[in-house]
């Protein structure tokens, strides 16, 4: 499962070190909302790993999915991940692989091993074997992986240098926290405004003002908060919780 992030590259490197590259497929699913530098990294990383790269695309972007399912994705539900990643990957595996002699590898590291075990156990019930090489020793943190990438002569995806925790969906993620969205506004204000407009379009389309990606938890209560309201709050001088990063679990969470 080759997401275009540093973790999936490092996991793939461990796989080919152990088993060779001849029977390894690097499987990438495109949400059509990726950062342009992801594609540069994707091909350079695949060439470095030395395995076949297969690129899959469902055909819609996340906002088109939200419109079709009449629901804006958020931390509680991610129809974008379901339709653009999990379903696409599952179909490819079913059409091209035999679970009896196939192992699926993901780039989750040991700091999130609990997420991997949930995925592994769920997929085992369906007959598939999943492994996470970065949950095994020698343990590596993301800075270690980025140093390894640098030694291999590959420039890291630009979103990491911009302070993003992952290299998916162009810095956008409906499961992200306030710190992540504050960074998106700071680093790529035009991109933030694009998603702000798309959120408002969806609210108008659904005819509801209580549906948003973000939540306001001040005062001990939780209420919907639009991306516009969050932006205006920051522009007025509010300091968000920059440690509230959150993040996607596209292949892991149901």
Band of pLDDT at residue 13, cut at 50, 70 and 90: very high
What would the two tokens of residue 34 be? 């990726």
Over residues 167-192, the pLDDT tens digits come to: 999 999 999 999 999 999 999 999 99
How buried is residue 151: exposed, middle or buried, by Cβ count under 10 Å (0-12/13-18/19+)?
Answer: exposed
**Has residue 121 got a pLDDT over 90?**
yes
Q: How much is the mean pLDDT over the chain?
A: 94
- 3-class secondary-structure state, position 11: helix
What would the two tokens of residue 63 be? 């906002």
| Rounded Cα gap, residues 1 and 27, in angstroms | 5
> How much is the pTM?
0.92
Over residues 33-91, the pLDDT tens digits come to: 999 999 999 999 999 999 999 999 999 999 999 999 999 998 888 999 999 999 999 99
Does residue 199 contact residue 231 with C-beta atoms inside 8 Å?
A: no
What would the two tokens of residue 86 be? 């999990």
């Amino acid at each position: 499962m080759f997401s275009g992030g540093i973790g999936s590259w490092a996991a793939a490197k461990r796989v080919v070190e152990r088993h060779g590259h001849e029977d390894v497929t690097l499987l990438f699913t495109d949400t059509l909302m990726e950062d342009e530098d992801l594609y540069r990294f994707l091909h350079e990383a695949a060439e470095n790993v030395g395995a076949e790269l297969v690129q899959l695309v469902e055909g819609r972007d996340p906002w088109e999915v939200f419109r079709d399912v009449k629901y804006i994705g958020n931390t509680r539900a991610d129809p974008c991940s379901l339709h653009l990643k999990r379903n696409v990957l599952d179909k490819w595996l079913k059409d091209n692989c035999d679970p009896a002699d196939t192992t699926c590898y993901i780039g989750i590291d040991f700091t999130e091993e609990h997420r991997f075990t949930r995925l592994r156990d769920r997929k085992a019930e369906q007959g598939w074997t999943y492994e996470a090489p970065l949950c095994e020793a020698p343990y590596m943190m993301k800075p270690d992986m980025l140093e390894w990438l640098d030694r291999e002569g590959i420039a890291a995806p630009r979103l990491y240098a911009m302070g993003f925790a992952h290299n998916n969906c162009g810095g956008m993620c409906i499961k992200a926290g306030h710190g992540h969205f504050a960074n998106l506004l700071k680093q790529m204000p035009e991109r933030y405004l694009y998603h702000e407009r798309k959120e408002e379009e969806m609210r108008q389309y659904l005819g509801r003002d209580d549906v948003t990606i973000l939540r306001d938890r001040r005062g001990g209560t939780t209420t919907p908060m639009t991306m516009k309201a969050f932006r205006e709050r920051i522009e007025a001088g509010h300091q968000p919780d920059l440690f509230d990063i959150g993040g996607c679990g596209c292949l892991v969470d149901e």
